[in-house]
Amino acid sequence: MTTAVAQSTPLSAVDRCDRCGAQAYLRVELSAGGELLFCAHHAREHGDKIREIAAHVHDETHRLASTPAAVPDSEH
Ligand SMILES: [Zn+2]
């Protein structure tokens, strides 16, 4: 890994949903500044609101479709 650039950095296991602490699959860059992270569940639940307040949405929820659901989301 080289220099980390915040804007296009892929989400990883250390990125956690601001609502429930699950692994985040959606990064919302707010038009007012700052960013929020959401798991797939909360990304769906707050989808409309997110798009209202977001300047940009980095969506990786598609990665869930190719991930076996049975894998536990433990600490490494
Ligand atoms: Zn969540």
* pLDDT per residue of the chain (76 residues) written in tens, 0 to 9: 555 444 568 999 999 999 999 999 999 999 999 999 999 999 999 999 999 999 999 999 998 876 555 555 655 5
Q: How far is the CA of 65 from the centre of ligand 1 (A)?
A: 17
Q: How far is the CA of 59 from the centre of ligand 1 (A)?
A: 14
For 34-62, letters b (16+ CB in 10 Å) and e give eebbbbbebbeebeeebeeebeeebebbe
Report the alpha-carbon distance of residue 47 to residue 40 in Å, rounded: 10
Q: How far is the CA of 19 from the centre of ligand 1 (A)?
A: 5
pTM for the whole structure: 0.72
Q: How far is the CA of 7 from the centre of ligand 1 (A)?
A: 21
Which residues, including other chains, have CB under 8 Å from residue 32's CB and lie 6 or more apart?
53
Q: How far is the CA of 17 from the centre of ligand 1 (A)?
A: 5
Three-state SS for 6?
A: helix
pLDDT at 2: 55
